[in-house]
Amino acid sequence: MAPMTLGYWDCRGLVQPIRYLLEHVGQEYDYKCYTFGNDIDTMFSSWYSQKPTIELDFPNLPYLIDGDIRLTETVAILHHLGRKFELVAQSDLDQRTQDMFDGILNDLASAGTTFYYPDRRSRQYPDDLEAAKNKFNEQYLGPKLEYMNRWMENKKFIFGETMHYNDFVMFERLDEHNAAFSGLIAQYSNLSRHHELMLSQKGVKDLLNSGRSSKAYRAPKAECGLAGYHQIFWNEETRAYVKFPKKELSRT
């Protein structure tokens, strides 16, 4: 198989499930990593300086170049690779379920963006972080995981005995939330079982332990006004450590 090119930021973010899939099937790829700058002027310059030079119909990160095929948008890339490597649903019923899980898992990623970054209006981190985490878990994350745990009853993978690309996505989304809420997955027996199963799949643990994967789930913290971020750190031993710096971000 000819090598592919995959481009994304220097964090796990949206690209990690794509990398798991490629590693799992043994597909060679060149990972084009765009690093974050240290201030507001350079935070995203590594990508923006290259963006006009890359032949993509809708330039964005992540992007995949597979021969003559050039794709952006995470779900489109996953669909392409899923079809290419037979990791997609086959029946009409399973295809509809697959589409549904695309949305469910995207919601989990979007919820992380909303919660883990400072409030978009006040540009502040919560005064009481633990209270904010409990509220987020009780009102959104917990109920969502209850439904997912119920779905996984008596299932090995999302679609039963056969693994699809959605399984890589669910593993990563839950892994991120488990880092922020230590012991979260253990509260849901079916999700916990699936998580351990995915960790044992070819390519997943290999990538995490290879040194080729960022330890940060999302963009790193930068002291740069409105572009202030925190970073969730990967702990090799406990696999569950998160840092939430508390500070008010400048509006200028």
- 135 and 69 in a common domain: no
pLDDT in tens, 177-228: 898 888 899 999 999 999 999 999 999 999 999 989 888 887 764 232 223 3
- Residue 204 lies in domain: 92-208
pTM: 0.85
- 63 and 139 in a common domain: no
Count of beta carbons in the 10 Å neighbourhood of residue 193: 15
Tell me if 22 is assigned to some domain.
yes
Query: How many structural domains is the chain composed of?
Result: 2
pLDDT in tens, 123-162: 455 566 677 778 888 889 999 999 999 999 999 999 999 9
Mean pLDDT computed over every residue of the chain: 83
Tell me if 229 is assigned to some domain.
no
The whole-number pLDDT of residue 126 equals 59
Query: 176, exposed or middle or buried, with CB in 10 Å at 0-12, 13-18, 19+?
Result: buried
- The partner residues of 55 in beta bridges, in order of sequence, read none
Find the helix or strand (DSSP H, E) in which 194 lies.
helix 189-199
Over residues 21-33, the mean pLDDT reads 97
- 98 and 56 in a common domain: no
Tell me if 73 is assigned to some domain.
yes
